[in-house]
Every structure is written in structure tokens, then in C-alpha cells.
Amino acid sequence: MKYRFFYGTKPNIRNLRPRDFSGKGYVCDLLLQTRWGTPVTVSCNRELDIWKVQHGFSTVFFGTRADALAYCKGRFYDANGQAV
């Protein structure tokens, strides 16, 4: 992900769609944000049942969606700023 400077209104995760982050064999299922507002994606592989959580330059892989969401719980926030 590239960090960019915005001189207008601050970009918000509510303006983004999960399908914008799909690609390279993965379909974005859930879009979250960090404490600082950078996007976090929870994606599933199109062919295998492998889930990944990606934020910044970090990617963590999981075997099930429940494991991926358990990893996100308490670390990331939804579009309204509430903890997952």
C-alpha cells in the first residue's frame, strides 16, 4: 500500500469497497481499519480455503474465516471506529 498526502477532506474507509481490494487469486470478504485509519483486508483464496489478513506490509494466513476474525478481534476497527 502506498501512503499519500491529501490536502482536501481526510480519506475514510467508508468510501472504499471490499471488491476494490480483490485480486491475485483472493476475494476481499471484509474491510477493516487500523487505529490510524489505514485499511485492513480479510480475504479468501478463490481456489483453496485459505484466508489472509493483510495490513500495510504484513500478511498473516489462516485456515478458517473464524481464525482470521479471531486474529482481528481487539486489533482492528470497523468503518465506524468500533473495535471488532
- Is residue 78 in a domain? no
Give kind and range of the element (H or E) at residue 28. Answer: strand 26-33
Does this model's pTM top 0.75? My answer is yes
Q: Which of 20, 64, 23 is nearest to 31 (CA)?
A: 20
How many domains is the chain built from? Answer: 1
Q: Please give the pLDDT value at position 17.
A: 79
Q: Please report whether residue 58 resides in a domain.
A: yes
pLDDT band at 20 (very low <50, low <70, confident <90, very high): confident
> 1 in a domain, yes or no?
no
Domain for residue 4, yes or no?
Answer: no
Residue 8 lies in a domain: no
Other CB atoms closer than 10 Å to residue 55's CB: what's the count? 19
In a domain, 48, yes or no: yes
pLDDT at 15 over 70: yes
Is the pLDDT assigned to residue 80 strictly greater than 90? Answer: no
What would the pLDDT profile of 40-64 be if each residue is shown by its tens digit? 999 999 999 899 999 989 999 999 9
Q: Tell me the residue range of the domain where 40 lies.
A: 22-72
- 46 domain residue, yes or no: yes
The answer to whether residue 41 is domain-embedded is yes
